[in-house]
Structure 1
Amino acid sequence: MMNSRNFLDLEEVRMEVFSGKISRAYCYVLVKQGKIKAIRVGRKILIPVNEAARLLAEGVN
């Protein structure tokens, strides 16, 4: 997961952080609730790499 990119898309976070154990729809719910910090670029939802690292370390509260 750690690479030179600054952002991951929601599907990458779902597969790498949550090992695909949660649905894509639930990822969108977590973003909407503010439990995963994200930015929107057009129709794409991007997660900062440091937020993905936080999710790995702490999980979703």
Structure 2
Amino acid sequence: MPLGYNSPTERFFRSLKHEQLHYETFKTQDAAKLSVIDYLAFYNGKRSHSTLGYQSPLEFERGYFKNAA
């Protein structure tokens, strides 16, 4: 496996821990799951990424598929 192969995954989980989970305490497992789902929606829909030209992943995909068609 090439060095850095897991970098995007590791970066996502680092962001999840530092931006979301460190600031909350959960009374139930369902509450924790909902928090992760909320963060996924934010991460993919609104959070800009420098490697994508400061676009969210959804914006990047929309542009990619629009240009590919």
- How would you bin the TM-score normalised by the shorter chain? 0.3 to 0.5
| Higher RCO by CA contacts (8 Å cutoff, separation 6 or greater) | 1
Whose Rg is larger? 2
- Tell me which protein shows more helix as a share of its residues: 2
Please report the TM-score for the alignment, with normalisation by the length of structure 1.
0.33
